[in-house]
Chain A
Amino acid sequence: MVSADQGGGVMRADVLAERVEGLDEALAAVDGFDSALACGLLRPPAATAAGVTGLAQAVAGSPLAGRVAEAADKTVAGAGGEDHFVALAAARTALLGSVHDALIDQVAEVTGRTAREREVPQGGGLPVGNLHAAARSWLVDLARTGWRGIGHEAVAGVAPVVQAMLAEPRLRRPATLLDGFAVELAASCPGATLERVPVRRWADLWSRALLLTLPGTAEVPDAGVVTGRLLPLGVDLQEHAGAVQAQVHAVLEPVGGAAPRVVRASVSAPKPDSVVGAGLWQLLRPHMSLLAAAGEGRAMELTDMPVTVEGDLIWDDACARPGASADAFVTARVVLPTALDAATAPLDRHPARIAVPVFLEGYGVSEGDGVLTFFVGGHPLAVDVDRVPVASPLTAQAVAASGACIGLLRWDAGSYRLQPLAVEATVRKKPVALHAGGWAGGTADKVGAKGEKAATDAVTVLRERAGRLLRK
């Protein structure tokens, strides 16, 4: 075992078990409001009305207090309107923002890395149009009926809004969120017969979608351009029926010797729900050369690549060229501990948004009830193997047999978990490194190639059908 105080990027898992001051109280207020939202805000019964009032009380000391108190009063009286619901969503978001901040402080202690400045200014506030208003009114109606009251027709009402938003790349954020949310709601209709409701999740998606309809919330200010060597750590894939996003987590070594910094590069695309597995990589691959570089274990040399204040590279293949080979584990062991972590934009201050690259080794492993746990310095940390993409050489068995791991530290439902991005393991007496995004750029692996072929065939059929039917 590697002792916790060895330094050099080994994380201090003991800190993860420490109680965070005020966290339970904030989450209790969130839960109360979320329960009210499940029943609907039209005429909340007394018990859930307490949830709405409780939310207002929880932000009583903040600048939002006045507006939220009024919104809660009106809502409890059955007279809540659009502006009131927006105020309640803002209050809920602020509470979760405070939870996020407390957790991020804890994570900084765990990694021993320094965060860049916390404060990130809000975006410029491009004017919002009719589509935003239409989305807002759909969301307001949803909140009135509540998750228990959803029906097919009401849910389908957002489809034209999503379609129009998708056509405008600038609106991809609200479009993608509303699309994924609507698919889940549609699959759960009618709400009256639902066995269980994903209470916090849908309240998250609802409040976030509502705030995204306000001017400026979806914009993160640019922070100029960066030049230097980009060392990939791993790839995180996210998907719903109508979209996929790959995010490469990496360390940037700027030219001129400034401190290295943790950055991300993202590429996303809308997709038909039948495009899955390797098909996801195929959709994204042509639009970001970094995916292949990360898959092959190669650095990239960036020249004047745009970056946001959150450390998100706005990837442009024209600003990048392939560099020398770069082992992600060397990057994780040597460079990551000295890197500065990215700051977080106001709307992104949410526990679900926490995804901090970490490096672990010398941990114990236990498996039971289908749950994999690492023991880091004796402290348990749940491993979320389910987040590894389907089209990947990384398996649960390899994670369980690993001796070193690059992962994303996340937090959900009250506890931390580790999403593996790559592991070093011994397979048939040989040391190997397996990456979740190992097939992002393609693969010669037998199983992987079969998946690639099936995905190519599926997209070929869809494109043929589209060519024949779409432009009639």
Chain B
Amino acid sequence: MSEWERSSTARVVAPARPRRLAKVPFVELADGRLQGVVSSGSDIARVYVSSVVAGSYAFACSTNNNRPCGGARGAYCNHIRALISEAVLQFGPERVARYLKAETGGDEGPSAQSIAHAMSSTRPPQGDAAAAAPVFSRFLRHLSYLELAPVTTPLPEMQWFPPTRAVA
């Protein structure tokens, strides 16, 4: 076994990179999708739940009240493009491209633009909007973490989770 395989504190997931959250407060690579929540530019109480499926690049975008996004008819809307850009900031372009199986080609390595282009140029199908509800509830759960009380009893388990300065 390699040293990494024999390490109790091997780093498996790189921590999120800092980014501004106003436009896209939540983004994740989960359930085989890039998915997240995008703030509406016009209505402060409205958010869009947007997603792209890894491999097929099928996309979906709707409001938190389940109204379909007007921009996401036949092609990626601006919410989905913003989601891709912010995912690249948070997770790094390589991890996003790898997860989505986006073939960006070229020698320069993937970028938000090349990932979006690689996927949209395949004319991806409209995806299933049914994923919006669980994504939104994951976002709410994510927000609820801020409401949980800190504790001063020790958590010895956190010894297995050292920080890392390495980026994704």
Contact = CB atoms under 8 A, between A and B. Distances in A.
Interface of A: 27, 31, 152, 156, 159, 163, 166-167, 169, 172-173, 176-177, 180, 183-184, 186-189, 196-201, 204-205, 208, 212, 220, 237-243, 245, 247, 264-277, 279, 283-284, 287-288, 308, 310, 312, 314-316, 345, 347-348, 350-353, 355, 384-390, 412-414, 451, 454-455, 457-459, 461-463, 465-466, 468-470
Contacts of B9: 201, 352, 412
Interface stretch (B66-74, B110-118, B119-127, B159-167): B159-167
A266 B8 contact: no
A245 B16 contact: no
Contacts of B162: 238, 384, 386-387
Residue with the highest number of chain B CB atoms closer than 10 Å, among A27, A272, A308, A352 = A272
Nearest to B27: A274
B55 interface: no
Interface string B131-168: 00000000111111111111111111111111111100
B84 interface: no
Interface in B1-48: 1-10, 12-13, 15-22, 25-26, 28-32, 39, 44-45, 47
Contact of B146 (A239, A245, A454, A459): A459
Contacts of A454: 18, 20
B140 A470 contact: yes
B64 interface: yes
Contacts of B39: 465
Interface residues of B, number: 61
B87 to A, nearest CB: 11
A176 to B, nearest CB: 5
A457 B146 contact: no
A169 B159 contact: no
A161 to B, nearest CB: 13
Nearest to A411: B8
A274 B15 CA distance: 9
Contact of B4 (A167, A196, A239): A196
B50 interface: no
11 contacts: A173-B157, A177-B160, A197-B5, A201-B8, A272-B145, A308-B154, A386-B162, A414-B6, A461-B25, A465-B47, A469-B143
B148 A166 contact: yes
Contacts of A27: 6
Nearest 4 Cβ contacts at the A-B interface: A269-B150, A352-B8, A238-B158, A315-B152
Given A385-B165, A412-B8, A461-B22, A156 B31 contact: yes
A172 B16 contact: no
B90 interface: yes
Given A245-B155, A387-B162, 12 more contacts: A176-B158, A201-B10, A245-B158, A266-B152, A287-B150, A312-B153, A348-B156, A388-B163, A461-B25, A462-B25, A466-B147, A469-B64
